[in-house]
Amino acid sequence: SRFGEFVEIAKTTPALWMNMVASGLWFYGYNELATMTLKKTGAVTQSVANTAKRVIVIVGVALVLGESLDPIKLLGCGIGIGGVFLYSIIDNLVKA
């Protein structure tokens, strides 16, 4: 099975363990920071910041990988990010 293969690789590859631990700690830190930010600001501010983070990640990865940001790619990103942003805003308004 695939899980058995993973277990065997995990037993013999210390780098895999280091990456898993680092990934877990990074995700924990991200969640802690998000919780602290949410407590100090508001839900709408958090939604806007999260949407901005998506834009920064998309543009940053495109720059690092040397990808072109053609108009059609930008349109697709804009539609996706805009949809997430609108959903977050509407969801917060409905809960309030």
**pLDDT at residue 3 greater than cutoff 90:** yes
* Average pLDDT of the segment spanning 9-31: 94
Residue 79 CB-half CA count within 13 A: 5
Residue in 52, 54, 41, 33 with CA at minimum distance from that of residue 92: 41
Contacts 24+ apart (CB under 8 A), 44-50: 44/88, 44/89, 44/92, 47/85, 47/88, 47/89, 47/92, 48/85, 50/84, 50/88
Q: List, for residues 75-84, the tens digit of each pLDDT value.
A: 988 888 888 7
Q: List, for residues 50-71, the tens digit of each pLDDT value.
A: 878 888 888 889 889 998 888 9
Instruction: Specify the pTM.
Output: 0.54
> Whole-angstrom Cα distance, residue 86 to residue 64?
29
